[in-house]
Chains A and B, each alone.
Chain A
Amino acid sequence: MSTLDAIFVETIDRLCEDQAGRELREGAEQGRWPAGLWAAFRDVGLTRCLLPEDEGGAGLDLEAAMRALRRCAMHAVPLPLAESMIASRLLQAAGIDVPDAVLAVGAADTQGQVPRVAWGEQAGFLVVVESGPKGEALALYEGAPRVVSRARNLAGEPRPTLATDAMRCVARQALTDASELLMRYGALARSVQMAGALERALQLSLQYANERVQFGRPIGKFQAVQHLLAQQASHAAAASAACDAALDASAGHPDPFLVAVAKARVSEAAGQGADIAHQVHGAMGFTREHSLHNVTRRLYAWRDEYGNEVWWQRWIGRRVSAQGADALWPMLTAL
C-alpha cells in the first residue's frame, strides 16, 4: 500500500466510524439520502477521486481509487461511490465534462428505459449508454427522472428503473464501445467491493468464532468450524488476488480478460464466503441486529450486478475456445 492509499484508508475508516452508523444505514435502505455522509466524502475528494485536483477531485489513479472503494465496501458505506467512478470513467472516455454532483449510470434498453440504476433517484445526473442505428453513444441527463419501478437489490440499495423522457440531455457523444466499457468498469468496481466485503465477513467470522462459547470452549476450537473458516479465508484470498491481478495490469485501462477473470472468480467466492460466514455465525448472524448482514447481503447482491459469474465465465470460455487450446498457455502467461 502506498502512502497515499494509507491516507485514504485512514480517512475512510474515520468517516465511517464517525458518521456511518446503524441508523444511517437503515435510513438509507428506507430511501433517506445520507446527504451529510456524501458531503463528508465530497470534502475529502472521494466522490470525484478519479478527477484531477484542479477539478475538485483527488487525482487518484484507477488502482488507488479501487483500493479506496474496497475499503468503503468493508464498511458497507451506503453511497454511490462506485457509480461515480464508473460514470466518471465513461464520461472521460466520451470527452464529456464530469459534473460535480451525485452521478448515476446505466444502459438504456430497447424501450428507452434504464433498468436497475444504482441510486438513480438520488443522483443529480444520469449517464446513459444508448445504442441506436448509428452505433453506441453516451448521454448525460440532468433533472428528475420518471420512475418506472422502485426495486432495491438484496442489500436494500436502490435500483430503480428509470425513464429519461422528463430529463434534459446536456451532452451526447458517440462512444463505440460504451456498453463494453460500462460492463468492464462496473465488473471491476463490484469485484473490488466484493473483495472488501469478503475480508470484512472473514474478520467478523473469526471474531465470532473466538468469542462464542459452546460445549465449554470457543466454537473456533472445533475442527469442523476451523475448516469452514479456512475455506472462507481461501475464498477471501482468491478474491483479493483476482482483483489485484486486474488492477496491477491496468495502468489506467483495465485488461478486459483480467476483469472477466476477476468478476467470474470473485462472484463465485462471494456467495460461498457469505454462506460460510452465516454458517459460522449461526442464528446470531441471521438477525438484523448483528452487523454481518451489511456485508453478506451486499455479497449476495453484487455478485449478480454487471454480469454474474456465469456471464463472465461464458465470456472467458468463448474467447479461450475460439483461440484454441494451443493459444491458452501463451495467453495466460502474457497477462
Chain B
Amino acid sequence: MHEFRFDPVSLPESAGALREEVRAFVARQVAEGRFEPRVNSWGSRDPEFSRACGRQGYIGMCWPRQYGGHERSALERYVVIEELLAGGAPVGAHWVADRQSGNQILRHGSERARRLILPRIVAGECYFSIGMSEPDSGSDLAAVRTRATKVEGGWSISGSKVWTSGAHTSHYLIALARTAPLEEDRHAGMTQFIVDMASPGITTRPIYNLYGGHDFNEVIFDDCVVEDDMVLGGVGAGWRMVTGELAFERSGPDRFMSTFQLLLESLRQIGPRPDDHAAAEIGRLIAHLATLRRMSTSIAGQLDRGGNPAVEAALVKDIGTGLEREIPEVFRRLLGVEPSLGDSPAYPENLGMTILRSPSFTIRGGTREILRGMIARGLGLR
C-alpha cells in the first residue's frame, strides 16, 4: 500500500514579504477599478490583468531566467497564486499556461519552443488550452482518436477535441494525439503537440455551458500541420507526460478556493454575531479549508523537492472540490436567499452564479470518480 504523505512544510522566509506585496497589488487593482473580486476567478480571462501579473513577476515564477522566468521556489509561487485566488483576481487567461503548459514545455519541449513561448507566457501575453478530451474520450483518455501522421518536417493532425476551455482566446493548445495505431498497451502510441491556434486547419466552435457562458469549445483539426520541434517530449511519450503533470494540475489552491469569495460575501451577509447554527456551519467550512490548505501546501513542498505526489493530489482535489461545492449549498440554506440571475442585488446573483458553476468543479481536471479510482490504486486495490 502506498503511504499517503502530507509532510509538514515551512514556507520560505521570503514568503511573508512576498505575500504582503501580492496583497497590496491586488488591493491596488481593486481600488483602481480594474476588477471586482469574483468566484471561480481562475476561470475569468482578463488579458490586461494577466499582463499586469506578468509585470509583477507572478507568472513563470519557478522557471529559469534564460526563458524569462524568475527562479523562485514552488512554495513562493504557491504564496502568490493563493493570494491571487483569495483576492478573487481574474487570473484565468494565463492560468493553464503558468500552472502546467509552461512546465511541460520547459521539461519536455525543444529549445526553439522554449525560447519562442516561455518568455511570452511569463509576460502574461501567451495563453494555453488543454486538448485532451474528445467526443468519445473523456475520463478514458487512452481512447483518443485524434491522429497525427508524419509529414515532411512535422506532423499532420486530424480529429476533434471537446470541452476545450479558452480555446477561443488561447494562443496555443497542447493536443494529445495518436501517433501509432491502438495496440494491446492502450497507453502506448500517444504524443503531445504544441499547436499554434493561428495555424491553418483549425476550426473552433463555442459550446455554451450550463449558465449560457462561453468557456469551453469544440476544436476541429483538419490536416493541421505542426513542426517537428513542436512535439513535446518523445513521440509516443504522451501518456507518461499527461499523467506526470497531474500533481501540478490537481493539488493547488485552485482546487478548493473557487468559491472562497462567496464564503467571504456570505460572512458579510451574516455579520459578526451568527446564531449557533450559522456559527457551526461557518466553523465547519473554515476547519475544512484550513486543513486542505495544509495538505495542499504539503504537496507544493513535495513538488519543490522533485517528488510526484499524484495520488495525494487526487485526494486533495477530491476533498477540495467537494468543499467548493458545499459552500454555496451551506449559505443557500442558512440565508434563505433565493438565488437569482441578471438584474438583482449582488449577493443573490453571486450565489446563483456559484450554484450554476458548481457542477463543473467535481468534473474538470479529473472527475471525482476517476480521482477515487486513483486513490484506490494508491491503496493497492487495483
Contact = CB atoms under 8 A, between A and B. Distances in A.
Physical interaction between A and B: yes
B270 interface: yes
Contact of A231 (B82, B290, B372): B372
B17 interface: no
A225 B268 CA distance: 42
B271 A321 contact: yes
Count chain B CB atoms within 10 A of each CB in A209, A230, A237, A329 and give the residue with the most: A230
Nearest to B273: A321
Contacts of B260: 329
A239 to B, nearest CB: 9
Interface string A305-335: 0000110111111101110111011001101
Given A242-B294, A314-B280, A335-B290, A234 B382 contact: no
B291 A241 contact: yes
Given A206-B1, A237-B6, A237-B295, A317 B274 contact: yes
B267 A321 contact: yes
| Chain A interface mostly | helix
B284 A324 contact: no
Contacts of A298: none
B291 A226 contact: no
Interface string B354-369: 0000000000000001
Contacts of A320: 267, 282-283, 286
Contacts of B270: 321
A264 interface: yes
B37 to A, nearest CB: 11
Given A313-B284, A321-B267, A229 B376 contact: yes
Contacts of B82: 333
Contacts of A310: 280
A61 interface: no
| Chain B interface mostly | helix
Contacts of B373: 223, 226-227, 230
Count chain B CB atoms within 10 A of each CB in A226, A229, A240, A329 and give the residue with the most: A329
A314 B283 contact: yes
Given A230-B372, A234-B375, A329-B86, A313 B280 contact: yes
Contact of B294 (A209, A244, A314, A328): A244
B86 A316 contact: no
Contacts of B375: 230, 233-234
A322 B283 CA distance: 12
Nearest to B85: A329
Given A237-B315, A314-B279, A335-B290, A226 B372 contact: yes
B289 interface: yes
A324 B271 CA distance: 7
A114 to B, nearest CB: 26
B264 interface: yes
A135 to B, nearest CB: 26
Interface string B248-287: 0000000000001001110110111110101111111011
Contacts of A328: 263-264, 267, 286
A215 B373 CA distance: 20
Contact of A325 (B19, B268, B276, B278): B268
A185 B379 CA distance: 33
A10 B11 CA distance: 32
Given A227-B369, A325-B264, A317 B381 contact: no
Interface in B326-382: 369, 371-373, 375-376, 378-382
Given A210-B381, A226-B382, A268 B284 contact: yes
Contacts of A237: 4, 6, 295, 312, 315
A332 B292 CA distance: 11
B265 to A, nearest CB: 7
Nearest to B10: A248
A206 B381 contact: yes
A221 interface: yes
B283 A312 contact: yes
Contacts of B369: 227
Contacts of B160: none
A261 B381 contact: no
B295 A238 contact: yes
B280 A230 contact: no
B41 to A, nearest CB: 14
B267 A316 contact: no
A264 B287 contact: yes
B318 interface: yes
Contact of B318 (A234, A242, A260): A234
B280 A317 contact: yes
A312 B280 CA distance: 8
Contacts of B289: 332
B250 to A, nearest CB: 14
A326 B27 CA distance: 12
Contacts of A225: 381
A181 interface: no
A324 B265 CA distance: 10
Given A230-B375, A230-B376, A313-B281, A221 B381 contact: yes
B264 to A, nearest CB: 4
Interface string A202-214: 0000100110000
B247 to A, nearest CB: 15
B6 A244 contact: yes
A329 B282 CA distance: 14
A245 B284 contact: no
A230 B272 contact: no
A211 to B, nearest CB: 12
20 contacts: A206-B381, A226-B372, A227-B376, A230-B315, A230-B372, A230-B373, A233-B379, A238-B292, A241-B6, A241-B291, A241-B294, A312-B283, A313-B287, A317-B281, A317-B284, A321-B279, A324-B268, A328-B286, A332-B290, A335-B290
Given A320-B282, A324-B272, 10 more contacts: A226-B381, A230-B372, A234-B375, A244-B8, A261-B286, A316-B286, A318-B273, A318-B274, A321-B278, A329-B260
Please list the 7 inter-chain residue pairs (A to B) with the smallest Cβ-Cβ separation, ordered nearest first.
A313-B283, A317-B279, A316-B283, A317-B283, A226-B376, A317-B282, A230-B375
